Amino acid sequence: MSIYQPDLFESEAARSVLDQLIEDSRLYRTSADYQQLLDFTVKLKNFAPFNAMLLQIQKPGLQHAASAYEWREKFNRKPKRGARPLLILWPFGPVA
């Protein structure tokens, strides 16, 4: 018997994340689709490439992304009330 027995919830959560990753990878079946993803990634210079890809998957056609702080401080604007947040991976933390 193993000392560590994974919790059923943990394995279901991991399976769900992997299933979603596989499903999302099907969005880019052709070379042209993949090239569009790479072009989008290059346009978002203020994000790491993986985070730019995450943003593209969450909101295809996105033109610009920034945190609420950046909208306020850099652009003197604020996100619209009820706007859907977009998630990215945060260095040394889970998500932003």
> Could you tell me if 7 and 15 are in contact, meaning their C-beta atoms sit under 8 angstroms apart?
no
Residues 6 or more apart whose CB falls under 8 angstroms from that of 49 comprise 41
What is the predicted pLDDT for the residue at 7? 53
Domain ranges of the chain: 8-61
Q: pTM (2 decimals)?
A: 0.61
∠ CA 55-61-66 to the nearest 5 degrees? 45
The tens digit of pLDDT for each residue in 45-92 reads 888 888 888 888 888 888 888 888 898 999 999 888 888 888 888 877
More confident residue, 51 or 9: 51
Answer for the pair 48, 76: CB distance below 8 angstroms, yes or no: no
51-87 b/e (C-beta count within 10 Å ≥ 16 → b): bbbbbbbeeeeeeebeeeeeeeeeeeeeeeeeeeeee
